Amino acid sequence: MTSENPHTDHSNTENQNVLTEDRRWMQRALQLAQQAEALQEVPVGALIVLNGQVIGEGWNQPITGCDPTAHAEIMALRSAAKHQQNYRLPEATLYVTIEPCTMCAGAIVHSRVKRVVFAASEPKAGAVISNGSVFDRPEMNHRVEYSAGVCEAEASAMIQAFFKRRREEKKAARQALKEQACKE
């Protein structure tokens, strides 16, 4: 895998600039993740940047959209491709708050995105460094660069808080049902 600074041939200043830029865009991706959370969806946000401009944004919405493919990355890819009027997005960078799954990593390869930056890794579904390495497979005809761990603490905290809240809500709902049953 590559580190946060994949361009080892560049100067430290350039690496620092890339990292600053990555953090700035990841903050936007974290805001988009909150849009998913507002819909009671697992909070994941993504955006696509080309030449310093956002060309597509998305957030996770499979339940709301009755669409198993409506992950944040797919939504961002669709929006960017439409914006560019091009099914391929060479030279673009995709930012996402959680490590992409197999489906999204596959779609990213198809889109010819140049680089992917993600915040937190996903030990179960992550298909880039955790439970698979789709971008490093030699048979792929397009090589996607990637950087992990940008704003990782913030992204992890957001997802952990979401699942904790959801567990508490389920517990409260079960408790309420029990109390109801006792009264009847």
Which residue stretches of 39-151 are H helix? 72-84, 102-111
Hey, is 106 helix, strand or coil? helix
Please give the Cα distance from 5 to 148 (Å, whole number).
10
Q: Is 66 annotated as a binding residue?
A: no
Hey, is 63 helix, strand or coil? coil
Q: Is 151 annotated as a binding residue?
A: no
Footprint of Zn ion on this chain (CB under 5 A)?
71, 101, 104
Please give the Cα distance from 55 to 172 (Å, whole number).
42
Q: Among 73, 99, 145, 169, which one carries the catalytic annotation?
A: 73
| Residue among 18 and 61 whose Cβ is closer to Zn ion | 61
Catalytic site includes residue 145? no
| Residue among 101 and 159 whose Cβ is closer to Zn ion | 101
Would you say 107 and 128 are in contact if contact means Cβ atoms under 8 Å apart?
no
| Residue among 101 and 128 whose Cβ is closer to Zn ion | 101
Beta-strand relationship, 145-148 and 45-50 = unpaired
Please give the positions annotated as active site: 73
Please state the residue numbers annotated as binding site for Zn(2+): 71, 101, 104
Please state the residue numbers annotated as binding site: 71, 101, 104
